[in-house]
Chains A and B, each alone.
Chain A
């Protein structure tokens, strides 16, 4: 019954590898997001999709590529992983496109460790 589910929960990999994180929401929301939370707990938006269309693309390296096959899914692919990519990545969704007054519903996070 999880509203926003992301997999895997933990991901340990070596520098230079390519990895993907998957996210699915069953809330019927139009908008999905990826946030990065660093070791100091600072949350920064990376991407936002509204009904499969990219609407926010913050200053994120090109190695990060989101893909939304449908409005219930937003996956994150990362190429050539670097040590600095180690963080917790949260997927989120909101009902109204562009967040606005619609709160975010977060997934449980994926802790990525790059060695």
Chain B
């Protein structure tokens, strides 16, 4: 069965720290991968997506993610986080007709 695993449930960092959030997926077909962000009290917004080509994709607000096919991973990174990055982050993978989400990682940035 298709699945998405996010290993970090809750991450706390200080401003200017570097960030890496792990995401692994399980799906036998060609994958399209996404990271979404949900700011407190808001809906989910697309951060970045990978469809094909360069496995290192850049998204909004300085985020990037790297698709490593051999590891079935799509980790999210940001070199220097800001307080405004406090949010819930969801990794997602398309699986046939639908997009499946991971359980999310709550990121809390200390000012």
Contact = CB atoms under 8 A, between A and B. Distances in A.
Interface stretch (A13-21, A61-69, A71-79, A96-104): A96-104
Most buried by A among B38, B94, B99: B99
Contacts of A41: 38, 88, 103-104, 106
B100 to A, nearest CB: 7
Interface string B25-40: 0000000101010100
Give the residue among A48, A55, A101, A108 with the most B Cβ atoms within 10 A. Answer: A101
A11 B44 CA distance: 20
Interface string B55-75: 000000000000000000000
Measured as residues with beta carbon below 8 angstroms from the partner, the interface class of chain B is 20 to 34
A103 B49 contact: yes
A50 to B, nearest CB: 8
A56 interface: yes
A108 B94 CA distance: 22
Interface of B: 32, 34, 36, 38, 42-46, 49, 51, 88, 90, 94, 96-101, 103-104, 106
